[in-house]
Amino acid sequence: MSETQSGQPTDVIRHADILIIGGGLSGAMLAAQLLRLPGKRQVLVIEPRAELGRGEAYSAVELGHTLNGNAARMSVDPDNADDLTQWLTEYIAAGGWPESNEQPVPISELFPPRGIFGLYVQQRLAEAQSVGAFNGSTVEHVRAEVVDLQTDAESVRLTLSDSQRLQGACAVLATGMFPAARTPQTESSGLNAAALDPWDVAAMQQLDPQSTVLIIGSGLTMVDAVVSLEQAGHRGPIEVFSRHGLLPHVRRQPPAWVDFLAEDHSIRTPRQLVRELRRHCRDAIAQGIDWQAPLDTVRAHIGRLWNQATDAQRRQFVRHVRPWWESHHHRSPPLSAELVERLHGEGRLRIQAASFKGLEPAAGGGVSIRIRRRAEAQTIVVRGAALINSSGIEYDWRRVARPLPQQLLARGLIRPGPLALGIAAEVDGAVLDAEGRVAERLFAMGPPLRGMWWESTAVTDVASQAKALAARLATV
């Protein structure tokens, strides 16, 4: 019998109670919640990275790549909104993140680096493991990628990239996000092959500091890319192209505002929501209050509004409201926003409303892209020394050229979610197959449920889903 890297024979199946596919924030928080429940259970978390709790988002090592929410908004404990603030207070007091002293604000208003947030997640998982040990519960990290999944009436079976086979009573798709910049596409334009990673400062240091850099997309990934370029010493022009040419607003700390959606359940459609929200924002401005105050009250209701909407209403939202929702709600951390504003003011960073139409041959090095500016019929070619894909997250699993999504679709074990956002599931996370049948042993949480809740990626969303799903899995 041959041995895998983990020492497991390739023809032996390992058994566990629960298999968690993905060990980033979603998988780590689900594991932590399972460990805190009474009862004895064995959990395997399958994650190819060396560490649990980081995933794509929190593997960043640069201090300039921060959370886009302040500490008071980013607790992984759904029962304690101050959990991150409390952890961060102790971490800073012990000598961690000395740079935080340069910001004269309360710790609750700090925007921690994503790498430090990853440490926080890992510590909370380690604490949960100590709690679980009293009940005989364990969580083990299996470092590999899941390449296939099969189910029957009794169990779920996984095949891993190192030929291991795992079997459990149930499995959870906690795959996190698929950043467009790092995700192979089934229908590739070749963009990623020609582009720099938005977070790869070392690669950017190889550029001529005065050269022109082209960026596709103007959301939060673009903000990260600009931070990376600045830290790499780049001082040349930055040309940003996005369909609507909108930049993320800066995140501020507005005062409380009346929860108008809780008081008026007659607001159901995107048009009604936008109309009422605009009225409240105008009222806030007239009173000298930050317009972000009424906007922030919407966040708690967006899942209900999206879930109860018809497909036609959802399409209306995505087509007409989404760009402004993204730029107004998914706001930039203050220090990053200040950098973008400064570069824009200096004329070094330009934002153009234009669509990316493809790569063009570039003689003599560099990169050339074809774009079409908004309201113009003709396309033009733009040339730069380097290109960065900052087009955000790929939510359509049919376009993700990874083994597991493709196998799940091919086997009919999943179906695309509403508007092809993520995958379809029940309210409790039970996955729907291609025929619409509810899976008894396959569940999902976090970003894969984008189509169900629209906002299913924020830390607080994931933490709440982890607690509810853990309670559900305890009954399987």
Flag whether pLDDT at 8 surpasses 90. no
Least confident span in 48-62, 131-145, 212-226: 48-62
* Angle, CA of 345, 324 and 62, to the nearest 5°: 55
Flag whether pLDDT at 362 surpasses 90. no
The candidate with the shortest Cα–Cα distance to 14, out of 220, 160, 172, is 160
Residue 300 neighbours by CB under 8 Å, 6+ apart: 259, 261, 262
Q: Are residues 207 and 304 in the same domain?
A: no
End-to-end CA distance of the chain: 34
Q: Are residues 305 and 282 in the same domain?
A: yes
Q: Would 467 be classed as within a structural domain?
A: yes
pLDDT band of residue 365 (cuts 50, 70, 90) is confident
Q: Would 432 be classed as within a structural domain?
A: yes
pLDDT band of residue 351 (cuts 50, 70, 90) is very high
Q: Are residues 382 and 410 in the same domain?
A: no
pLDDT at 10: 52
Could you tell me the two tokens for 29?
A: 């928080």
Residues spanned by the domain of 237: 186-249+331-389
**CATH number for the domain harbouring residue 409:** 3.50.50.60
Q: Are residues 22 and 165 in the same domain?
A: yes
pLDDT at 2: 29
Q: Are residues 52 and 142 in the same domain?
A: yes
Flag whether pLDDT at 369 surpasses 90. yes
Flag whether pLDDT at 6 surpasses 80. no
Q: Are residues 128 and 60 in the same domain?
A: yes
Domain-ending residue, one of 389, 404, 435 = 389
pLDDT at 11: 62
pLDDT at 3: 33
pLDDT at 261: 94
pLDDT at 262: 92
Q: Would 260 be classed as within a structural domain?
A: no
Q: Are residues 366 and 287 in the same domain?
A: no
Q: Are residues 402 and 467 in the same domain?
A: yes
Query: Measured between alpha carbons, how far is 222 from 198 in angstroms, rounded to an integer?
Result: 7
Q: Are residues 203 and 339 in the same domain?
A: yes
Flag whether pLDDT at 358 surpasses 90. yes
pLDDT average, residue stretch 41-67: 94
Flag whether pLDDT at 4 surpasses 50. no
**In this structure, are strands 165-173 and 13-21 parallel, antiparallel, or unpaired?**
parallel
pLDDT at 308: 86
Q: What's the whole-model pTM score?
A: 0.93
Q: Would 206 be classed as within a structural domain?
A: yes
Number of structural domains the chain divides into: 3
Q: Would 88 be classed as within a structural domain?
A: no
Identity of the residue numbered 255 = P
pLDDT average, residue stretch 295-309: 90
The pLDDT tens digits of the residues spanning 232-244 come to 999 999 999 999 9
Q: Are residues 365 and 284 in the same domain?
A: no
Least confident span in 278-292, 297-311, 456-470: 297-311
Query: Measured between alpha carbons, how far is 127 from 36 in angstroms, rounded to an integer?
Result: 9
Q: Would 290 be classed as within a structural domain?
A: yes
The pLDDT tens digits of the residues spanning 127-166 come to 999 999 998 999 999 999 999 999 999 999 999 999 999 9
Flag whether pLDDT at 1 surpasses 60. no
Q: Would 134 be classed as within a structural domain?
A: yes
pLDDT band of residue 399 (cuts 50, 70, 90) is very high
pLDDT at 270: 83
pLDDT at 189: 83
Average per-residue pLDDT in the chain? 94
Q: Are residues 141 and 242 in the same domain?
A: no
Q: Are residues 441 and 468 in the same domain?
A: yes
Please report, rounded to a whole number, the percentage of residues in the chain having pLDDT higher than 70.
98
Q: Would 84 be classed as within a structural domain?
A: no
